[in-house]
């Protein structure tokens, strides 16, 4: 069956032609061996939707398709077209050589064809061989995106509905995510040049129109869409439109390992800038005293000068031999803390991720170990007592998310949390690089909302005295209750103070601020 789609500036075929235009404009930046008289080869062309648009741009169009009727239609419009069966891979090279003769290739397109092929690798390998022999032309490929949000939401609600055409065309033999497409193309020697993906907020799979889950106006629909968008690129991409050039074959596994590659239990990220570089030595001394070392350490600097980078690199190398675990130092050129954190997240191997800033919890990181069985946020709740520290190693229990958020907002930095890696991997969370300083309340609230939270409950005595101990959820709730009552009383006093004269008002307001900050007036 051949597909008779029409060309439009704002549809898939318009994207393909504009991508070719961009490649032509870029010729001055790279060697181009194919002469202008070379042909454009449209493999699996159907009715040749791009034929006229390419002819207007000076291309000599040659279409190839298995369907006799569509080939005849293209010829009637004044173009060269041939009937070719891509399934006959053993004869494909011979057929292409016969059609092209001594002509060079200017460019190649394979639009929505790869997903229909039983042996797509063999076909693409043959096309690569032809391209290497005939001027190294770029190859433009379009492939339906199986990770469009409409498909994911419908699958979640027990629907996988094949249609005559579209994302779930009933003749598709293979389905592609963006990652799978790049692995697939690289495995047969096609190197990515650029892309111009075609987006549709509502794909052909956006039905029924009264679906609660698909709607962007219902709370459920908005939530499901936000999860997909958080997970990574492509939630509204209908077709990936990519340009490739012949290159080396990449030895990347196309099939996935069910176990995964999370080799460490905990990855520790330490963001370092010029103003806190002096703390690095003390941090390393603290880590040396820890008995539990089943973690990896990634120091990520940002905005450091050469001398500061060298200092960090030396300290990191020295601590590596002492700890006996994986350590690494990396640096990003920007001055954004978020960019440093995002760069480190690309390298971590742990099942959990902890970010060390400001003060360090007592018995950290052993306090996070416990009986971790679920991908929840691990929370260390502590208070200053001056008594021997306790280590939460026996068990974990669920903690109320709102209570944890409130407690964090008043008392604890991000160092008191260990995030499941999949919060960054599966859900794709990244820090906002447009902000110079990171507001850590956002990742904490987001992670607690999506992952849940566990807190170390039972504790065993620590070997050394320290100034922190774990407290129970009940104690936390009581503490929050007292804090809320105090805040309410402060609000009442502020209202009363506003009616006093200026000198007396200033004195009382100063006292109230001291109470709020935990100091005596």
- Residue 510: pLDDT above 80? no
Residues 6+ apart with CB under 8 A from 31: none
CATH assignment of the domain containing 463: 3.90.550.10
Write out pLDDT tens, residues 75-123.
999 999 999 999 999 999 999 999 999 999 999 999 999 999 999 999 9
Query: Helix, strand or coil for residue 54?
Result: helix
* Count of domains observed in the chain: 3
Higher pLDDT, 1 or 61: 61
In angstroms, the CA 470 to CA 493 distance is 34
Residue span of the structural domain in which 421 resides = 264-471
- 94 lies in the same domain as 111: yes
- 397 lies in the same domain as 297: yes
- 370 lies in the same domain as 407: yes
CATH assignment of the domain containing 74: 3.40.50.150
Write out pLDDT tens, residues 196-232.
999 999 999 999 999 999 999 999 999 999 999 988 8
- Residue 509: pLDDT above 70? no
HSE at residue 424, side-chain half, CA atoms within 13 A, is 25
Q: Please say whether the beta carbons of 114 and 208 come within 8 A.
A: no
Q: Quote the pLDDT of residue 294.
A: 78
In angstroms, the CA 379 to CA 456 distance is 7
**Does residue 217 lie in a domain region?**
no
- 391 lies in the same domain as 495: no
Q: Quote the pLDDT of residue 502.
A: 56
Residues 6+ apart with CB under 8 A from 413: 357, 358, 359, 440
pLDDT, averaged across the chain: 81
Residue range 327-342: mean pLDDT, rounded: 89
Q: Quote the pLDDT of residue 72.
A: 97
What DSSP letter does each residue of 450-502 carry, written as one string? Answer: HH-EEEE-S-EEEEEE-SEEE--HHHHHHHHHHHHHHHHHHHHHHHHHTTS-H
**Does residue 457 lie in a domain region?**
yes
Q: Quote the pLDDT of residue 391.
A: 31
- 336 lies in the same domain as 412: yes
- Residue 154: pLDDT above 60? yes
**Does residue 194 lie in a domain region?**
yes
Higher pLDDT, 372 or 300: 300
- Residue 269: pLDDT above 70? yes
HSE at residue 464, side-chain half, CA atoms within 13 A, is 9
Write out pLDDT tens, residues 433-476.
888 788 888 888 888 878 877 665 433 323 333 333 333 445 44
- 446 lies in the same domain as 506: no
Write out pLDDT tens, residues 356-405.
886 666 666 666 655 455 666 666 543 333 333 333 332 334 445 555 55
**Does residue 154 lie in a domain region?**
no
Residue range 248-260: mean pLDDT, rounded: 75
**Does residue 215 lie in a domain region?**
no
Q: Considering the chain, what percentage of its residues have pLDDT values greater than 90?
A: 50
Which residue carries 């070379």 as its tokens?
A: 38
Confidence of residue 318 (pLDDT cuts 50, 70, 90): confident
Pick from 268, 450, 423, 255: nearest CA to 347: 268
Q: Please say whether the beta carbons of 470 and 380 come within 8 A.
A: yes
Residues comprising the chain, all counted = 521
Window from 159-168, 222-231, 284-293, 404-413 with minimum mean pLDDT = 404-413
Pick from 274, 155, 270, 283: nearest CA to 224: 155
Name the pTM for this structure. 0.70
What DSSP letter does each residue of 204-252 carry, written as one string? Answer: TT--STT-TTT-SSSHHHHHHHHHHHHH-S-TTEEEEEEEEEE-PPP--
Write out pLDDT tens, residues 414-429.
887 888 888 998 888 9
- 389 lies in the same domain as 409: yes
Q: Quote the pLDDT of residue 382.
A: 35
Q: How far is CA 205 from each of CA 51, 123, 162, 177, rounded to the nearest angstrom? A: 28, 29, 9, 16
- 451 lies in the same domain as 346: yes
- 54 lies in the same domain as 183: yes
- Residue 241: pLDDT above 60? yes
């Amino acid at each position: 069956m051949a597909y008779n789609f029409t060309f439009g500036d704002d549809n898939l075929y318009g994207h393909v032609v504009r991508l070719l235009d961009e490649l032509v404009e870029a010729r001055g930046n790279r060697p181009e061996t194919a002469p202008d008289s070379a042909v454009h080869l449209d493999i699996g062309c159907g009715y040749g939707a791009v034929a006229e648009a390419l002819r207007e741009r000076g291309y000599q169009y040659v279409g190839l398709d298995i369907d006799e009727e569509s080939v005849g239609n293209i010829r009637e419009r004044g173009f060269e077209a041939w009937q070719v069966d891509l399934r006959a891979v053993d004869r494909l090279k011979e057929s292409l050589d016969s059609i092209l003769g001594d002509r060079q290739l200017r460019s190649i397109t394979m639009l929505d064809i790869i997903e229909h092929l039983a042996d797509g690798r063999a076909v693409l390998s043959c096309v690569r061989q032809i391209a290497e022999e005939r001027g190294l032309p770029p190859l433009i490929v379009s492939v339906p995106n199986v990770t469009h949000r409409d498909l994911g939401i419908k699958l979640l609600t027990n629907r996988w509905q094949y249609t005559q055409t579209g994302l779930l065309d009933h003749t598709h033999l293979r389905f592609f995510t963006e990652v799978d497409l790049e692995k697939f193309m690289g495995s047969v020697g096609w190197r990515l040049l650029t892309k111009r993906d075609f987006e549709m907020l509502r794909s052909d799979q956006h039905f029924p129109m009264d679906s609660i889950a698909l709607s962007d106006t219902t709370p459920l629909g908005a939530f499901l869409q936000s999860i997909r968008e958080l997970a990574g690129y492509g939630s509204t991409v209908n077709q990936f439109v990519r340009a490739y050039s012949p290159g080396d074959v990449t030895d990347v596994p196309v099939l996935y390992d069910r176990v995964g590659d999370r080799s460490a239990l905990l990855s520790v990220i330490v963001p370092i800038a010029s103003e806190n570089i002096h703390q690095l030595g003390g941090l390393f001394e603290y880590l040396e005293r820890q008995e539990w070392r089943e973690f990896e350490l990634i120091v990520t600097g940002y905005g450091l000068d050469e001398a500061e980078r060298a200092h960090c690199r030396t300290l990191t190398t020295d601590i590596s031999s002492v700890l006996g675990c994986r350590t690494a130092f990396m640096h990003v050129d920007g001055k954004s803390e978020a960019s440093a954190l995002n760069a480190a997240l690309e390298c971590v191997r742990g099942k959990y991720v902890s970010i060390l800033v400001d003060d360090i919890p007592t018995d950290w990181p052993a306090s996070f170990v416990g009986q971790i069985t679920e991908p929840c946020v691990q929370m260390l709740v502590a208070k200053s007592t001056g008594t021997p520290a306790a280590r939460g190693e026996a068990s974990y229990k669920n903690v109320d998310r709102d209570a944890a958020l409130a407690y964090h907002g008043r008392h604890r930095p991000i160092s008191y949390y260990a995030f499941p890696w999949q919060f960054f991997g599966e859900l794709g969370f990244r820090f906002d690089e447009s902000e110079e300083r990171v507001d850590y309340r956002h990742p904490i609230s987001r992670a607690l909302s999506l992952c849940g939270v566990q807190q170390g409950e039972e504790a065993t005595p620590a070997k050394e005295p320290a100034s922190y101990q774990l407290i129970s959820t009940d104690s936390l709730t009581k503490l929050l209750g007292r804090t809320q009552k105090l805040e309410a009383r402060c609000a009442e006093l502020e209202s009363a103070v506003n009616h006093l004269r200026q000198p007396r008002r200033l004195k009382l307001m100063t006292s109230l601020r001291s109470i709020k900050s935990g100091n005596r007036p």
